[in-house]
Amino acid sequence: MSELPILFAHANGFPGRAYTHFLEQLAPWKTDFIPVFGMGKYQVKRDWTPLADELIEYVETHHPQGVIALGHSLGAVVSLWAGSQRPELFHRLILLDPPLFGPGFQNLVWLLQMLGLSRRFNPLARQALARKAHFTSIEEAREYWGGKNFFKPFHPQCFEDYLTHGLMPDPEGGYTLRFPAELEARIFSSRMGRGRFHGMRVAADWILAERSVLPASTQARHRKRFSADTFYQMKGGHMFPMESPVETAAMIKKILSSDMDSI
């Protein structure tokens, strides 16, 4: 096993610690995670590239020897950006269903931004802003979220991790979202990046969901564009690390074991 740690980058709206049960399944690999993107000096404005800078700074500060980057959704795209900019810091990239949409979608988001309409016409941003953000107790949140179709496929412990780490005490009483709805909406209504990826010099493995957020045509385009990468499929939807944490971790460890055997 490599001495390099796995550095996990989370999805939009899900703090890194909310993946605790999933990350525990990666043992004996050492793991670390980004707590919450975009909460400090690296602010999302027009696109996600500041978050790649945040990831790079985290690696330089905490793991100067380099890491294996593991990212889910937002975190997968951010990891891909970071790996293209600073390949010497990343031994390998493992990308869990990255929402890397095509130029048509990106141009539409850009146009809506220019017109000041991105939040109004982006359903994910609207949903984030409408999200219930305050609960009197963890039990209230458990009952409320447990009835949502989004959370029903979650592994029970992953759901409990989200309750524990997706909320934090509100100074005025009760509990509030650890990942602010305003930040989540800002990310959803922003472009994924500007310009093109640099020539990729970091090996990457893409694990796409059976019900991926990416249409088949976009997946085919990525397979051609990133022809040196390896593509896999995992049963379930976009949140498969939370739905099937044991199976997802087993696939990742198999990929990494094969990678170590080839060195």
**pLDDT tens track for 155-194:** 999 999 999 999 999 999 999 999 999 999 999 888 776 5
Contact status, residue 62 vs residue 229, Cβ threshold 8 Å? no
Q: What's the chain's length in residues?
A: 263
Residues 129 and 45: their CA atoms lie apart, in Å, by: 17
**Residue 121, pLDDT above cutoff 70:** no
Residue 108's pLDDT band, with cuts at 50, 70 and 90, is low
Residues 183 and 91: their CA atoms lie apart, in Å, by: 30
**Of 109-113, 136-140, 159-163, the least confident:** 109-113
Residues 152 and 147: their CA atoms lie apart, in Å, by: 7
**Residue 263, pLDDT above cutoff 60:** no
* Letter string b/e over residues 18-56, b meaning 16 or more CB atoms within 10 A of that residue's CB: bbbbbbebbeebbbebbebbbeeebebeebbbbbbbbbb
The pLDDT > 70 percentage for the chain reads: 87
Chain Cα centroid distance, residue 222: 18
Q: What distances in angstroms separate CA 40 from CA 3, 184, 188, one per listed residue?
A: 29, 14, 18
Contact status, residue 40 vs residue 54, Cβ threshold 8 Å? yes
**pLDDT tens track for 186-238:** 998 887 765 556 567 898 999 999 999 999 999 999 999 898 899 999 999 99
Contact status, residue 18 vs residue 155, Cβ threshold 8 Å? no
What does the mean pLDDT of the chain come to? 90
